[in-house]
Amino acid sequence: MKQALVLLLFGCMACAQTNNPMDKDIKLDTEAKKASYGLGVVLANNIKSQNPDSIDMEALFKGFYDKYKGSATLMNDQECMQAVQKSMSAAAERKNAGAKKAGEDFLAQNKSKTGVTTTTSGLQYKVLKAGTGKMPSASSQVTVHYTGKLIDGTVFDSSVERNEPATFPVNGVIQGWVEALQLMKEGDKWELYIPSQLGYGERGAGQQIPPFSTLIFEVELIKVN
């Protein structure tokens, strides 16, 4: 039901933003009004989460009203879906292009900073603390503490915050980590700057890591198992 209602409201998306024709006070003095207003807020949240290109509010309300009341619509259902998909695809492409450029610009500036090393793959790292222990191979298991961030500073994962080191096989993580771990020694603490192609690439990872994200990790290699 939720998906159907979202698609219904998406049905008549246009290309220019207009003023909200419903921008006026309303009294929520009945349970029906409260429920209706609440449904509108829920649907708006769902629409925004789909990254629409732009929405003409007047056309959206017209499409919703016509369909809900059973009136003749200005486009058939197939045409509506095609318009929605085209707009959403264009918005996603622009967002992805922006993320790629932001990551490339960050790495280009970062590589000239003091202490930053860039490998042939494009991985960048900075040694925060030098260790003297053994180095892992691709087949090793390691125990590490880490904090992962986006380039805007948003933390998406942290074993440090959980106060629980992570143990995993070196070859079981993203490529940027696979490469970096085999350069590290027990006791090392590095900051890694991982291009999207060595991270989660065009897929991203769940809600927290968007497609084409450049990632920053602070990694402490505690033990090679």
| DSSP string across 105-122 | HHHHHHTTSTTEEE-TTS
Using pLDDT thresholds of 50, 70 and 90, give the confidence band for residue 192.
Answer: very high
Say whether 47 is catalytic.
no
Which pLDDT score, from 0 to 100, does residue 44 have? 83
Residue with the two structure tokens 């980590």: 177
**Per annotation, catalytic residue among 56, 66, 106, 174:** 174
Distance CA 34, CA 37 (A): 5
Using pLDDT thresholds of 50, 70 and 90, give the confidence band for residue 96.
Answer: confident
**Per annotation, catalytic residue among 53, 56, 61, 156:** 156
Helices (H), the chain: 2-10, 31-49, 57-69, 77-110, 159-162, 175-181
Say whether 217 is catalytic.
yes
Q: Is the dihedral of CA 203, 208, 212, 214 positive or negative?
A: negative
Average pLDDT over residues 34-49: 85
Which pLDDT score, from 0 to 100, does residue 22 have? 55
CB 124 within 8 A of CB 111: yes
Query: Which residue, among 82, 57, 62, has the nearest Cα to 74 in the 3D structure?
Result: 62
Say whether 200 is catalytic.
yes
Q: Which two tokens stand for residue 39?
A: 């449904």
Query: Which residue, among 154, 117, 115, 144, has the nearest Cα to 223 in the 3D structure?
Result: 144
- Asked whether residue 74 carries a pLDDT value surpassing 70, the answer given is yes
Say whether 37 is catalytic.
no
- Asked whether residue 5 carries a pLDDT value surpassing 60, the answer given is no
Reported as type and span, the H/E element at residue 219 is strand 215-224
Using pLDDT thresholds of 50, 70 and 90, give the confidence band for residue 14.
Answer: very low
Using pLDDT thresholds of 50, 70 and 90, give the confidence band for residue 53.
Answer: low
Question: In which region does residue 176 sit, left (phi positive, over 0), alpha (psi from -120 to 50) or beta (all else)?
Answer: alpha
**Per annotation, catalytic residue among 56, 66, 157, 168:** 157
Q: Which two tokens stand for residue 172?
A: 């079981």
Query: Which residue, among 207, 205, 206, 153, has the nearest Cα to 177 in the 3D structure?
Result: 205
**Per annotation, catalytic residue among 200, 212, 216, 222:** 200
Domain ranges of the chain: 2-90, 111-224
> Which tens digit of pLDDT belongs to each residue from 103-139?
999 999 999 999 999 999 999 999 999 999 999 999 9
Distance CA 176, CA 161 (A): 22
> Which tens digit of pLDDT belongs to each residue from 129-151?
999 999 999 999 999 999 999 99
What's the CATH number of domain 111-224, 3.10.50.40, 3.30.1330.60, 3.40.50.460, 3.40.190.10?
3.10.50.40
Q: Is the dihedral of CA 6, 11, 15, 17 positive or negative?
A: negative
> Which tens digit of pLDDT belongs to each residue from 200-211?
998 999 889 999
Say whether 65 is catalytic.
no
**Per annotation, catalytic residue among 10, 64, 125, 217:** 217
Which pLDDT score, from 0 to 100, does residue 197 have? 96
Say whether 64 is catalytic.
no
Distance CA 195, CA 151 (A): 11
pTM for the whole thing?
Answer: 0.70
Residue with the two structure tokens 């222990």: 133
Question: What percentage of the chain reaches a pLDDT higher than 90?
Answer: 60
| Residues contacting 225, CB < 8 A, separation 6+ | 140, 141, 142, 143, 167
98: helix, coil or strand?
Answer: helix
- Asked whether residue 72 carries a pLDDT value surpassing 50, the answer given is yes
**Per annotation, catalytic residue among 146, 194, 212, 222:** 146
Using pLDDT thresholds of 50, 70 and 90, give the confidence band for residue 52.
Answer: low
- Asked whether residue 23 carries a pLDDT value surpassing 70, the answer given is no
